[in-house]
Structure 1
Amino acid sequence: MKDKLKVLVVGSGGREHAIAKKLLASPKVAQVFCAPGNPGMTLDGINLVSISELDFDALKGFCYEEEIAWTFVGPENALVAGIVDSFEKDGFKIFGPAKDAAMLEGSKDFAMRFMNKYEVPTAYFETFQNSEAAILALADFAEPIVIKADGLAAGKGVVIAPTKEQAKKEIKLMFKKGQKQIVLSEFLAGQEYSLFVAVGRKDYQILPMAQDHKRAFDNDQGPNTGGMGAYSPLPQLPKHDYQRMLTEVVEPTIAGLRQENFDYCGILYIGLIMTAKGPKVIEYNVRLGDPETQVVLPRIASDFAMLIDAAVEGQKLPEVVATNDACLGVIVAAKGYPGEYHKGQALPTLESIDDVTLDFANVSENDHSEQLRANGGRLLTVLAKAKDLTTAQKLVYDYLGQHEFIDCYYRQDIGKKATHKSAKDF
């Protein structure tokens, strides 16, 4: 490779901020653009491009004009809408699965049928197109019951109903809101884990694992969100259980991708739960997770950009080398999220210090100053990298405690399952 690369990241959240930073850290990368990005990214030297992630023609035009080597797709909506097919049709190199493969995230029913076909362990499930049939089928399930919107829902389309009476209400509500299809599945008990696989056309590499925190409030209370924080590595996960995940889940999944002849050159996220009977898959995502990306990428010591470059060039993927360091991130969200949230409130002046860094998401610029404002939903991730999780956890919560966030909130117990500590313990 003679010249340094110019690359494009599609998306605007904390995940895309983390991806862009990691790519820019490569000595082989000259510039990283992000479309549309967010104003917080500019603090790290990322160039913003004012093009929607779903405006494929404009994105391709930008790639042509700027001689972009390849594009990395962050969000699932662009993948499910067929951005990869559009780019490849016109000869542009892109990292992400094609539209047919993206259905592994675009439809819960499609994904679970795929798992059953290729003997990937998962929950018992049934799929329904109307509330009457779904309510009748509640007799097939023990309480609690998991109810899933079949399509994309930004991580918020799953309800765990503690009773069948509550399940009836939730089923009716989902169809009333316009759902065409829902999935009922058995509840799986155990700790949840996030496993990421970089899939090339010839082989694959496993990235560091993480644990997400889906519920809005401490002690896993409240509604499901897109994720309120994450950490990596997972000291509570025994090596033999991890090996079972690779053997019983990853290997048959990859074999299934090949058997289906999917055009899959991208990241595969596998949401796992370690049950008393072994690992089972909760869901597939066809991209990096948010907020797991923010804690996984800082632990990769090898050149992440060259991993992606090898994938889009159809070459053998280089080994992914992880550091022994720990990384923990806490999401700051607008008050009210994931429901009706506050918007427009000024954020405190935030700067990276020592081992604490920031990945911005839904923020906007204040017209009258350089101060950033909240733009609703999840606003930013505060991250720390340290020799162990307890130290990283303390660094994050100390940093958060030194700043006043108006009409915002964050969980105080991210990482507790590994460290047995919450913010109040420091």
Structure 2
Amino acid sequence: MKVLIVGKGGREHAIAWKVKESDLVKEIFIAPGNIGMESLGTLINIPEEKIEELADFAQKNKIDLTIVGPENVLALGIVNEFERRGLKIFGPTKEAAKIESSKEFAKKLMKKYGVPTGDYETFTDLELAVKYVEEKGTPIVIKEDGLKAGKGVTVAFLMSEAIEALEVAFSIPNNKVVIEEYLDGFEFSIIALTNGETVIPLEIAQDHKRAYDNDEGPNTGGMGVYSPVDKIDSNVIDETLEKILKPMAKGMAKDGISFKGFLFGGIMLTKDGVKTIEFNARFGDPEAEGILPRLKSDFVKAILDLMENKDVDLEWDDRYTVAVVMASENYPKSSTIGSEIEIPKDLESVVFHMGTRKVHGKIETNGGRVLSVVAYGNTLEEAKKNAYLDVKKINCKKLFFRNDIGSKMCYNNENK
């Protein structure tokens, strides 16, 4: 069969890498992809947001299955367009993808269907928002409502930080802000495959969102991840499924906006049990790079079986993975383009490209997050050691990385 993967980052590289292993797949097309994916399939020079052009390509080339990576494309309605043409595609419709593209929408759904989460209020006025924050006090969480690529969130421990975040948010015309209760506890990521009725959880991971060591600096799209997460046992996972993922999927189906695709839950294990920080409408990034290398089952078969309402039984590698993101200097404030990267060929780790390009045969930086270096280990410490050995062999003057992905110092509240 022929598979089309839509996207160009590390998540899509990891998906393509796993799809390549499937015995069912003969041809892989990636639109637009990046130069790290050249060996996995044919790169198609169609921007990911050009959904009609992508649908035309899928029709013309008789694509059997399309897998969508990025959230912005889902929010634009790529699934609606493909399904309108009778093309098989794995991802939520524009309406269902609002659980990520509108934080207010997601919060309202959680409240409606009893999904545990923090208290919140939504504001469109700076003065009223500041008054609310002053009444509630800190710590408090400020979230801009729309898609922000993993950013646009401020966990304010000082009143000055909260007010500054609000002033920045409301400097954007017509912006809307969700102000949330701060949840204290242990954060983890859980992604499930769902067809709107059946919810199949993947192995969990913990993402490190802050830019710098010791969970300092601004929030990012993710600076690294490890899997599995020993602190989260099967009882917590079952609680998360029964109280959060399944009720959300069933509630959306009841509302006529059935969710098909990768349902991502950012979860906080608090002293009162699990609570939802956020929902995303796609596979996480860098979660994909940490989780998919542990999947032993045929990824494509699992998706097809789920879409056809067949039983899905996933098998996992017992080893740990640690994925370390190498990002442009000054990320997330800015990105670097055109700085040469030297990647040795003898690395033990799997290197997924997130923001790279090739110019005159040389690999260069081309984005904020640039590479994700993933290593296995029989223990978490071994996986971490292996990952950092290879990270340090990659040469680029304009990249930085956290030194503590998977360290025990990060086993507390990721919001700190």
**1:417 and 2:408 matched:** yes
**DSSP 3-state at the match of 1:109:** helix
Distance (whole Å) between structure 2 residues aligned to residue 103 and residue 376 of structure 1: 26
- 2:70 matched to which residue of 1? 75
Q: Of 328, 338, 351, which aligns to 2:322?
A: 328
Aligned-residue offset at 1:297: 0.7
Q: Percent identity?
A: 38
| SS of match in other structure, 1:92 | coil
1:13 is the counterpart of 2:9: yes
Shift of 1:114: 0.6
Write the distance in 1 (CA, Å) between the matches of 2:176 and 2:410. 40
Aligned ranges for residues 111-260 of structure 1 at < 5 Å? 111-178=106-173, 180-260=175-255
Residues 335-344 or 410-419, more deviating: 410-419
Q: Give SS of 1:353's match.
A: coil
Match of 1:345 among 334, 339, 346: 339
CA–CA separation in structure 1 for the residues paired with 2:221 and 2:233: 27
In 1: Cα distance, 2:53 partner to 2:15 partner = 21
Separation in 2 of the partners of 1:266 and 1:383? 24
Cα–Cα, structure 1 residues 352 and 148, in superposed 2: closer, same or farther, change >3 Å? farther
Aligned partner (choices 24, 37, 41) of residue 37 of structure 2: 41
Residue of structure 2 equivalent to 1:365: 358
Residue 59 of structure 2 corresponds to 64
Query: 1:424 maps to what in 2?
Result: none
> 1:298 Cα shift?
1.1
Matched to 1:311, the amino acid is L
Over 3 Å counting, the alpha-carbon distance change for 1:142 and 1:352 in structure 2 is: farther
2:329/2:335 contact within 8 Å kept: yes
Residue matched to 2:379:
388
Following the alignment from structure 2 to structure 1, what is the Cα–Cα distance between the partners of residues 132 and 346?
52
- Flag the 1:352–1:127 CA change in 2: closer, same or farther, 3 A: farther
Structure 1 residue 348, shift from structure 2 partner: 1.0
Identify unmatched segments of 5+ residues in structure 1: 421-426
User: Hey, what's the Cα distance between the residues in 1 that align with 2:87 and 2:237?
Assistant: 37
CA change 1:138–1:16 in 2 (3 A) is same
CA contact (8 A) 2:325 2:373 kept: yes
Partner of 1:375: 366
Which residue number in structure 2 is paired with residue 274 of structure 1?
A: 269
Tell me if structure 2 keeps the 8 A contact 1:202–1:316: no
Task: Please tell me the residue identity of whatever aligns with 2:374.
Answer: L
Once superposed, what is the RMSD of the aligned Cα atoms? 1.6
Give CA deviations for 1:366-391 in whole Å, capped at 9, x if unaligned.
22xx3200012000100012222211
1:104 to 83, 99, 102: 99
In structure 1, the partner of 2:414 is none
Deviations 1:174-222 (A, max 9, x none): 1113352101011111111000110014422111101000000001100
- Aligned partner letter, 1:268: L
SS of residue in 2 equivalent to 1:324: coil
In the TM superposition, what whole-angstrom CA distance separates every residue of 1:275-328 from its partner, at most 9, and x where no partner exists?
11111100000100000000111111111101112234x332411222211111
Residue 401 in structure 1 maps to residue 392 in structure 2: yes
Whether contact under 8 Å (1:349, 1:371) holds in the other structure is no
Alpha-carbon distance in 1 for matches of 2:22, 2:409: 31
Counterpart contact for 2:306–2:312, Cα < 8 Å: no
The amino acid of 2:153's aligned partner reads V
Identify unmatched segments of 5+ residues in structure 2: 412-416
Asked if the contact 2:344–2:393 (Cα under 8 Å) also holds between the matched residues in 1, the reply is: no
Structure 2 partner of 1:29? 25
Give yes or no for contact 2:197–2:250 (8 Å, CA) kept in 1: no
Q: Distance in 2 between the 1:90 and 1:45 partners?
A: 27
CA distance in 2: counterparts of 1:317 and 1:198, whole angstroms: 12
Residue 339 of structure 2: SS of its match in structure 1?
coil
Q: Could you tell me the TM-score, scaled by structure 2's length?
A: 0.95
Structure 1 residues 19 and 210, CA gap change in structure 2 (3 angstroms): same
